[in-house]
Chains A and B, each alone.
Chain A
Amino acid sequence: MNKSFRLILWTCVLFLSLWMFAEWFEGHRDSYYTHKYSQVYGNPAITTLFMGSSYLENCMNPHLLQDNDSIYDFAISGRWIYWDVQLAERIFPTMSNLKTVIFPIGYEAVYSSYHYQPCNPENELYMYKYSKYMNIYYDRLPQRFTCRSALYMNQLRHKKWKDITYDSLGYYPIVGKSPKWEMSVKRNIHRSWPAQECYREYLNYLTDFAQICHQNGIRLIAITFPCADYYLENIQPEGVQDLYALIDSVQSHYPIEYHNYLYDDEFRADSIYYNANHLNSIGATLFARRVRKDFNL
Chain B
Amino acid sequence: MVFNSLIFLVFFSVVYLICWVPLKNTTKGQNIFLLLASYFFYGYADWRMLPLLIVATLIFYFLGKGIATAKSEKQSYWLTALGVVLGVSTLLYFKYFNFFIESFGALLETCGQHTNLHTFNIIMPLGISFFTFRLLSYVIDIYRGKVEPINDIVAFGTYVAFFPCLLSGPIDRPTFINQLKTVRTIEYNNTIEGCGQFLWGLFKKVVIADNLATSIDQVWNNIDGATGSTLAIAAILYSFQMYTDFSGYSDMAIGVSRLLGFTIAKNFNHPFFALNMADYWRRWHMSLTSWLTDYVFMPLNIRFRDWGKFGMILAIIINMIVVGMWHGANWTFAVFGLYHGLLFVPLILSGAFFKKSKIHTNRLGLPVIADFGRMVLTFMLVTIGLTIFRAGNISQAWSYFCGMSDRTLFSIPDLDGKVELYTAFVSIILMLIIEWFNRDKSLLLSYIKNIQRPIVLALLYSFTLFIILLLRGGSADFVYFQF
Residues of A within 8 A of B (CB): 1, 3-4, 6-15, 18-19, 22, 119-122, 124-125, 142, 144-145, 147-148, 151-152, 155, 180, 182-183, 193-194
Smallest Cβ distance from B357 to chain A, in angstroms?
Answer: 39
B426 at the interface (CB under 8 A from A): no
Q: A124-B475, A155-B419, A183-B222 are in contact. Are A4 and B466 (CB under 8 A)?
A: no
Q: What is the bound-complex CA distance between A147 and B185, given in angstroms? A: 37
B465 touches which of A4, A11, A120, A121 (Cβ 8 Å):
A11
A interface, by DSSP: helix, strand, loop or mixed? helix
Across the interface, which residues of B come within 8 angstroms of A151, CB to CB?
419, 470
Smallest Cβ distance from B39 to chain A, in angstroms?
Answer: 24
Q: What is the bound-complex CA distance between A250 and B433, given in angstroms? A: 60
Q: In which size bucket is the chain B interface? A: 35 or more
**Taking CB as reference atom, which chain A residue is nearest B459?**
A14
**Taking CB as reference atom, which chain A residue is nearest B214?**
A121
Q: What is the bound-complex CA distance between A151 and B190, given in angstroms? A: 35
Query: Are B195 and A11 touching (Cβ within 8 A)?
Result: yes
5 further interface pairs, Cβ-Cβ under 8 Å (given A4-B187, A9-B458, A14-B463)? A7-B457, A8-B195, A180-B225, A182-B222, A183-B222
Smallest Cβ distance from A137 to chain B, in angstroms?
Answer: 14
Q: What is the bound-complex CA distance between A194 and B119, given in angstroms? A: 12
Smallest Cβ distance from B90 to chain A, in angstroms?
Answer: 25
Across the interface, which residues of B come within 8 angstroms of A155, CB to CB?
419
A18 touches which of B225, B419, B463, B473 (Cβ 8 Å):
B463
Q: A148-B471, A182-B222 are in contact. Are A11 and B461 (CB under 8 A)?
A: yes
Smallest Cβ distance from A233 to chain B, in angstroms?
Answer: 16
Query: Are A7 and B470 touching (Cβ within 8 A)?
Result: no
**Taking CB as reference atom, which chain B residue is nearest A147?**
B470
Across the interface, which residues of B come within 8 angstroms of A193, CB to CB?
118
Query: Are B466 and A19 touching (Cβ within 8 A)?
Result: yes
Q: A119-B475, A125-B474 are in contact. Are A7 and B466 (CB under 8 A)?
A: no
Q: What is the bound-complex CA distance between A151 and B417, given in angstroms? A: 13
**Taking CB as reference atom, which chain A residue is nearest B20?**
A1
Smallest Cβ distance from A148 to chain B, in angstroms?
Answer: 5
Q: What is the bound-complex CA distance between A12 and B457, given in angstroms? A: 12
Query: Are A14 and B476 touching (Cβ within 8 A)?
Result: no
Q: What is the bound-complex CA distance between A124 and B474, given in angstroms? A: 7
Q: What is the bound-complex CA distance between A5 and B344, given in angstroms? A: 49
B294 at the interface (CB under 8 A from A): no
Smallest Cβ distance from A170 to chain B, in angstroms?
Answer: 26
Smallest Cβ distance from B415 to chain A, in angstroms?
Answer: 12
B472 at the interface (CB under 8 A from A): yes
**B187-208 near A? 1/0 per residue, CB < 8 Å:** 1101110010000000000000
B89 at the interface (CB under 8 A from A): no
Q: What is the bound-complex CA distance between A148 and B4, given in angstroms? A: 15
Query: Are A121 and B458 touching (Cβ within 8 A)?
Result: no
**Taking CB as reference atom, which chain A residue is nearest B185?**
A1
Query: Are B6 and A144 touching (Cβ within 8 A)?
Result: yes
Across the interface, which residues of B come within 8 angstroms of A1, CB to CB?
20, 185-186, 188
B429 at the interface (CB under 8 A from A): no
Across the interface, which residues of A come within 8 angstroms of B475, CB to CB?
119, 121, 124, 144
Query: Are A7 and B20 touching (Cβ within 8 A)?
Result: no
B455 at the interface (CB under 8 A from A): yes
**Taking CB as reference atom, which chain A residue is nearest B457?**
A7
Across the interface, which residues of A come within 8 angstroms of B192, CB to CB?
7
**Taking CB as reference atom, which chain B residue is nearest A6?**
B454
Query: Are A3 and B469 touching (Cβ within 8 A)?
Result: no
Q: A4-B187, A15-B465, A180-B225 are in contact. Are A121 and B476 (CB under 8 A)?
A: yes
